[in-house]
Amino acid sequence: MTTLEEYAERMHDASKERMRSQAEVHARYVKSLEQYRLLSQSENPPRDQRMMLFHEVKVLGWVLGKRDKDVANELNK
């Protein structure tokens, strides 16, 4: 079991991570979309990798305030 001091130290370390800007999140979203499309167009895309990219795009879209339906439409373009 962790002590209160260990917990406080972990929280302090986590707070050192900087927030990502909207532009950084959007750039990652666009890059992930491109990777997903390229992977989907390949002959035998690895399901694990495709699903990982799919979920990354969904989460990034959520962070950007996009509706799930809009993200799905962009994935299928």
12 versus 31: which is more confidently predicted? 31
Concatenated DSSP letters for 22-77?
Answer: HHHHHHHHHHHHHHHHHHHHSSS--HHHHHHHHHHHHHHHHHHT--HHHHHHHHT-
pLDDT digits (tens, 9 = 90+) for 28-62: 999 999 999 998 888 887 888 889 999 999 999 99
pLDDT reported for residue 47: 87
Where do we find the tokens 């992977």?
39
CA nearest to 40, candidates 73, 6, 4, 76: 76
Residue 68 pLDDT greater than 50, yes or no: yes
**Rounded mean pLDDT of 60-74?**
93
pLDDT reported for residue 30: 94
- Whole-structure pTM value: 0.70
Enumerate the domain spans of the chain.
20-75
